[in-house]
Structure 1
Amino acid sequence: MMEIPLPLIKANQAGIVLFVVIALASQQPWWIYALFLIQLAGLAFGPQASLFILLARSALADERLRRSETQAAELARFNQTIAVLLLGLSSVFHLAGWSWPGHIASGMVGLAALAALAGYCIGCTIYYQYKRWRALRAR
């Protein structure tokens, strides 16, 4: 199973929080559109295509990344899929002129990323429950 160094995951989460906070503070939805495209690129082409991970990889020493804790790529992809879906929904709401639902959808992504930075991964909990449900269903 492929693993992604945790500092790169944290950099991606920090980038999400930063863009969502700037978007909400400035009331400029194009920050959400940009964040959606950044996350979509990472989802479609892998972590090496994510702007936040590219920046973190260039800032961090390779030795530090090799020695750091990791997260399963499957779990990271699951979390990123949820983020992309919610950011896409937020973008659609903003483009339709429904700013409050757009803020709520992007805010959910920002709060989940902030919670993950603080040590609690909401997407991991959802993933665990989903896997548990599938295992029970397979019996």
Structure 2
Amino acid sequence: MQIESIPRPLVRVNQWTIFLTVVLAWLTGLHWLLLIPLVANLSGILFNFNPIMKIARVFIIKEVKNYIPEDVTQQKFNACIASFCLAGGLISFSLGWTIVGYVFTIMVAVASFIAILGFCIGCFIFYQFKQYQYRRTLKQT
């Protein structure tokens, strides 16, 4: 059985899209731009089709198996966190709750940029959650 994976360059394109879209929304005040990564990530979670990654796949040079694989389950978990923050930011900005909007979008921008640099906060949270589940099952036996 082969574990489902996503080539790292596609994950990086998605991370850059989140980061750059958030920064662009801040600079222009066009908060609806947050819909771009939000819809793409929700589509990835719900339908296994992230349009940003599908478009980026066209530009992959090597065979997919020659790239560092990223786990699909972890990426969906990360996309859930990102979608929550993007939606929270978009809704907050729409309601005029500017500070809350910035809090949500700063969190997702910082997380995506740190992931681009090589440390995935969402993966760390996912790992800690799995450890918690495992320890809980040990206590029940």
Aligned residue for 1:4, secondary structure, equals strand
Give the one of 21, 24, 36 matched to 1:22: 24
Match of 2:52 in 1: 52
Unaligned runs of 5+ in 1: none
Structure 2 CA distance, aligned partners of 1:31 and 1:87?
10
With structure 1 as the length reference, what TM-score do the two structures score?
Answer: 0.91
> Structure 1 vs Structure 2: percent identity of aligned residues?
29
TM-superposition CA deviations, 1:77-134 (whole Å, max 9, x none): 1111111111111122122111221121012111111000001110011011111111
Structure 2 gaps of 5+ residues are: none
Give the count of matched residue pairs: 136
Find the counterpart in structure 2 of residue 122 from structure 1: 121
Q: CA deviation at 1:62?
A: 5.0
- Corresponding residue number in structure 2 for 1:3: 5
SS state of the match for residue 59, structure 1?
coil
- Distance in 1, Cα, partners of 2:72 & 2:44: 12
TM-superposed deviation, 1:61: 2.3
> Normalising to structure 2: TM-score of the pair?
0.90
Q: Does the alignment pair 1:35 with 2:34? A: no
Q: Which has the larger radius of gyration?
A: 2
